[in-house]
Amino acid sequence: MSEAGAALVAAGVSLFVGTGTFVASFVVARLQAKQAVELKREDLRTEYMAESVIRRLLLHTKWRKRSFVAIKAVVGDGFEEDELRRHLVRAGAVCIPGSKEKGNELWGLMERNDDQFG
């Protein structure tokens, strides 16, 4: 085989390997991006459901306020305490003034506890 023929074979092999590598990388990147979107969607769904449960709990006609411990028991142990407090705020809840100092952190919806905020 001549040098020109060997060079053409080497170029063809390089082109084939390069194209295959590009296609494989593209497919893997696309799958990773799709998986990341699904994970984010699941996270958002979990957050929405937690806030929905909190809001329904605080809208219950029997109670205007609920202790943080009771809310945590209903929502579950899947959230750290500060994360659960963020969900409470997103759901429209506020911490009742003075309740933390008494050792019984109470939360309620702002619209149902206007009298607590002079």
Give DSSP secondary structure letters for 80-101. Answer: -HHHHHHHHHHTTEEEPTTTTT
Between the CA of residue 19 and those of 4, 5, 12, 26, 30, what are the distances in Å? 22, 21, 11, 11, 16
Q: What is the pLDDT of residues 36-62, one digit of tens each?
A: 888 888 877 777 788 888 888 888 888
d(CA 30, CA 36): 10
Say whether pLDDT at 104 is over 60.
yes
Please report which confidence band the pLDDT of residue 117 belongs to, taking 50, 70 and 90 as the band edges.
Answer: low
**Fold exhibited by the domain 3-116:** Arc Repressor Mutant, subunit A (1.10.10)
pLDDT value of position 1:
67
Q: What is the pLDDT of residue 88?
A: 92
